[in-house]
Chain A
Amino acid sequence: AQKITQTQPGMFVQEKEAVTLDCTYDTSDPSYGLFWYKQPSSGEMIFLIYQGSYDQQNATEGRYSLNFQKARKSANLVISASQLGDSAMYFCAMREDTGGFKTIFGAGTRLFVKA
């Protein structure tokens, strides 16, 4: 079974609007961390935001926030005030406490920001 599911292969958003990228995960480990990465066309993966499974508050980093719904096993990324430079692939990832050093990545969502 897939551990990380990103159901949106591609998304379009108008510049300056907010967009939500979906991510659901599957784990039986009570301790885990969730990550979002951005991958521009240049190739490098850029860390955006982290949410620990025991964190009470949703993580926020500037224009990025993570909508963490633990019971639903969902960790959606919200980008507010989209910019043209936000056009990229976005990957949701998880690391389980029992998984050692293995970070499991989803298939990604390609975001297109329209001017």
Chain B
Amino acid sequence: ETGVTQTPRHLVMGMTNKKSLKCEQHLGHNAMYWYKQSAKKPLELMFVYNFKEQTENNSVPSRFSPECPNSSHLFLHLHTLQPEDSALYLCASSQDLAGGLGQETQYFGPGTRLLVL
């Protein structure tokens, strides 16, 4: 079982659809993250969860709604997205919160490639 899995791997949705991205980590980590990777922008942190509690919301629009039911699972609920939301959405986990000077390593999943039409 690979460390961090994401489903689906590819998703095409219309602007009026509602869909969810799922992330699962099998590493026993306590912190989980959502990142957005757009074609022409560097990787951007969206949300951070630690022990199921959200610790960071990096000014993400409300059409993205995260959910963390337990330390192993992280969801990203999508509704009324815009074409500019098309991107690769990466989930990551780390043993403890990766902050500041610390060397805490983040382990990434393969991503969900989202296309909004």
Q: What residues of chain A have their CB less than 8 Å away from a CB belonging to chain B? A: 4, 31-33, 37, 42-47, 50, 52-54, 91, 93, 95-108
Q: With a CB–CB cut-off of 8 A, which chain A residues contact B90?
A: 43-45
A33 and B45 contacting across the interface, CB-CB below 8 Å = no
B108 and A46 contacting across the interface, CB-CB below 8 Å = yes
Report how far A101 CA is from B113 CA in the complex, Å.
24
Known: A50-B103, A52-B101. 15 other contacts (CB 8 A): A33-B100, A33-B103, A43-B113, A45-B106, A46-B108, A47-B106, A47-B107, A102-B45, A102-B56, A103-B45, A103-B98, A103-B106, A104-B42, A105-B43, A105-B44
Q: What residues of chain B have their CB less than 8 Å away from a CB belonging to chain A? A: 4, 33, 42-45, 48, 55-56, 58, 88, 90, 92, 97-103, 105-111, 113
Central interface residue in B102, B103, B113, by most chain A CB within 10 Å:
B103
A44 and B100 contacting across the interface, CB-CB below 8 Å = no
B108 and A45 contacting across the interface, CB-CB below 8 Å = yes
Q: With a CB–CB cut-off of 8 A, which chain B residues contact A108?
A: 42
Q: What are the nearest 10 A-B pairs in CB distance?
A: A45-B108, A105-B43, A43-B111, A97-B100, A43-B110, A105-B42, A44-B110, A101-B99, A31-B101, A97-B101
Report how far A12 CA is from B112 CA in the complex, Å.
28
Residue in chain B with minimal CB distance to A52: B101
Q: A43-B111, A43-B113, A44-B110 are in contact. Are A100 and B100 (CB under 8 A)?
A: yes
Q: With a CB–CB cut-off of 8 A, which chain A residues contact B105?
A: 47, 50
Q: A45-B92, A50-B105 are in contact. Are A99 and B111 (CB under 8 A)?
A: no
A101 and B101 contacting across the interface, CB-CB below 8 Å = no
A99 and B107 contacting across the interface, CB-CB below 8 Å = no
